[in-house]
């Protein structure tokens, strides 16, 4: 007899394309039936069969203080009691803007939105409006949401504009997007030398999380910063995923490279829909209502979501928070690597702050091409062995994982125990 997850998935597919509201949830990459989550607390969640899992996706990043943190829940309850949405300014929006400007070194002004896609889409429009240029550069393997200009893969040559990766994206949108190799300084130099005066912006994940976890090299980001400055192009850091995940002041503080515009999300909503884009005041002055670049949203700065995000931002500033988070994440990846080496499986792992990546390869990937060369089938088998043991990893070899402050030593040890069994079964 099918369990409740099977029944729910069959039911969902009748009214929702693929049975899910975001594609990776469908388990198409790893196979099998997705788990339908009924509740969560701390480092755990429970599926429709009431089976408990150690959760390593954390709502894809936001649950940095753990699921259903009492202070976050209380803040949401109090905000909800005052009203769910007003369509008018609130003091909470000012509080969040001030907090972001305080924490992110390059942000002087910020605009709140409701999703990471909205943030990156708006930042691109702002960069184009401010520079009066159309061309943009993105990098193979970086995901910046599902705006038309960004659903583009590499073209056939270095100066060939990219091709759409989704049906419904017109060629006219993608023809303005150049797609280069991540961590390739030489390509950047060559493209700017050729068409630098036509480039509105470069958008990049300084710590990529959507081709698994891949770090930018310092030289890559420094080259990008220098070329954008020389050619009057806008440098956009997409820190929707890594912002407040790799450190309190974001990836740009770790690298010592400041962006002109920064996109944030996930952690700043604490599990509810809040995102933001911000940067230099002279660039933000191009935004309506004081400038000619239009952007609007009925639920932007929603008071309930802002309450969750502000409480989360206060919690992550507690003394020792990131030291503990980083130590637990490092304990996880080092433990997994040691077990794999012991049993003779080609495997490696990496971590930055509370983000981590697992790779079935001999070396940590540094680009989309090297990530594609990893053993994805072996990852899929590992994923299901861990799932059966009550450990929920990202259901794709191309997604980073996330540790929360509630993943204590007992949780990490239980994960490593499950992994020891899984590695021996591969």
Q: How far is CA 374 from CA 330, 359, 369, 384, in A?
A: 21, 7, 9, 18
Tokens standing for residue 169: 């994206």
Tally: H helices and E strands in the chain: 14, 18
Beta bridge partners of 349: 358
Q: Residue 357: beta bridge partners?
A: 350
Residue scoring higher pLDDT (15 or 151): 15
Angle made by CA atoms 16, 210, 380, in degrees to the nearest 5: 75
Phi-psi region of 407 (alpha: psi -120 to 50; beta: other; left: phi over 0): beta
Residue 32, burial from CB neighbour count under 10 angstroms (0-12, 13-18, 19+): middle
- In which residue are the tokens 């912002």 written? 243
List residues with catalytic annotation.
143, 238, 266
Fold of 4-64+319-425: 3.90.1150
Q: How confident is the model at residue 156 (pLDDT cuts 50, 70, 90)?
A: low
Tell me the mean pLDDT in the region 291-320: 97
72-315 maps to which CATH number? 3.40.640.10
pLDDT interval class at 1 (50, 70, 90): very low
> Per-residue pLDDT for 159 more than 70?
no
The predicted model gives 257-269 an average pLDDT of 98
Extents of the domains making up the chain: 4-64+319-425, 72-315
State the DSSP string of 95-123.
HHHHHHHHHSTT-SEEEEESSHHHHHHHH
* Helix 70-81 and helix 303-315, axial crossing angle in degrees, nearest 10: 150
pLDDT in tens, 60-100: 999 999 999 999 999 999 999 999 999 999 999 999 999 99
Burial 69-79 (b: 16+ CB within 10 A, else e): beebeebbeeb
Residue 415 has pLDDT above 50, yes or no: yes
Mean pLDDT of 374-395: 97
Query: How far from chain centre, in Å, is Cα 282?
Result: 27
Residue 8 near residue 48 (C-beta atoms within 8 A) = yes
Q: Do the bridges between strand 109-113 and strand 275-279 make them parallel or antiparallel, or are there none, so unpaired?
A: antiparallel
Q: Which of 329, 425, 411 is nearest to 53 (CA)?
A: 411
- Note the pLDDT tens digit of each residue in 335-351: 999 999 999 999 999 99
Q: Binning pLDDT at 50, 70 and 90, where does residue 160 land?
A: low
Tokens standing for 11? 């039911």
**Which residues, listed in sequence order, are joined to residue 42 by a DSSP beta bridge?**
67
pLDDT over threshold 70, residue 273: yes
DSSP 51-89: -EEEESSGGGTT-TT-BT-HHHHHHHHHHHHT-S--SS-
Burial of 330 (0-12, 13-18, 19+ CB in 10 A): middle
Q: What is the mean pLDDT of the chain?
A: 95
**Cβ partners under 8 Å of residue 396, min gap 6:** 24, 29, 30
Domains 4-64+319-425 and 72-315 are alike in CATH topology: no
Question: CB within 8 A of 181, min separation 6: which ones?
Answer: 139, 140, 154, 187, 367, 368, 369
What pLDDT, in 10s, does the model give residues 217-254? 999 999 999 999 999 999 999 999 999 999 999 999 99
Q: Strands 177-180 and 135-139: what pairing?
A: parallel
């Amino acid at each position: 007899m099918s369990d409740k997850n099977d029944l729910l998935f069959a039911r969902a597919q009748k009214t929702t394309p693929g049975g899910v509201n975001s594609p990776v949830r469908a388990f198409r990459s790893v196979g099998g039936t997705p788990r339908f989550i009924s509740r969560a607390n701390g480092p755990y969640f429970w599926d429709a069969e009431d089976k408990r899992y150690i959760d390593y996706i954390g709502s894809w990043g936001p649950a940095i203080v753990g699921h259903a943190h009492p202070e976050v829940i209380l803040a949401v309850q109090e905000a909800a009691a005052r009203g769910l949405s007003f369509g008018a300014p609130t003091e909470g929006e000012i509080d969040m803007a001030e907090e972001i400007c305080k924490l992110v070194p390059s942000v002087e002004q910020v605009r709140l939105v409701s999703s990471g896609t909205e943030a990156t889409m708006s930042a691109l429009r702002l960069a184009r409006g401010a520079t009066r240029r159309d061309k943009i550069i993105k990098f193979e393997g970086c995901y910046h949401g599902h705006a038309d200009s960004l659903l583009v893969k590499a073209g056939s040559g270095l100066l060939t504009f990219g091709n759409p990766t989704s049906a419904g994206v017109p060629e006219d949108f993608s023809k303005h997007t150049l797609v280069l190799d991540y961590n390739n300084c030489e390509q950047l130099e060559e493209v700017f030398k050729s068409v630098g005066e036509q480039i509105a912006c470069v958008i990049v994940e300084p710590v990529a999380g959507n081709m698994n976890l891949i770090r930018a090299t310092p030289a890559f980001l420094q080259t990008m910063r220098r070329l954008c400055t020389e050619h009057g192009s806008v440098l956009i850091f997409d820190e929707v995923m890594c912002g407040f995940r790799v450190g309190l002041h974001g990836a740009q503080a770790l690298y010592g490279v400041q962006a002109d515009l920064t996109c944030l999300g996930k952690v700043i909503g604490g599990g509810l829909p809040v995102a933001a884009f911000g940067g230099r005041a002279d660039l933000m002055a191009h935004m309506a209502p004081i400038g000619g670049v239009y952007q609007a949203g009925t639920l932007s700065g929603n008071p309930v979501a802002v309450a969750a995000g502000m409480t989360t931002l206060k919690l992550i500033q507690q003394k020792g928070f990131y030291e503990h988070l980083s130590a637990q994440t490092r304990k996880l990846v080092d433990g997994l690597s040691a077990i794999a080496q012991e049993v003779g499986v080609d495997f490696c792992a990496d971590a930055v702050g509370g983000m981590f990546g697992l790779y079935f390869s001999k070396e940590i990937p540094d680009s989309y091409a090297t990530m594609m060369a990893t053993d994805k089938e072996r990852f899929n088998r590992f994923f299901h062995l861990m799932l059966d043991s009550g450990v929920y990893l990202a259901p794709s070899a191309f997604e980073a994982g996330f540790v929360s402050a509630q993943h204590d030593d007992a949780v990490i040890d239980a994960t490593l125990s499950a992994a020891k069994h899984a590695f021996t079964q591969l």
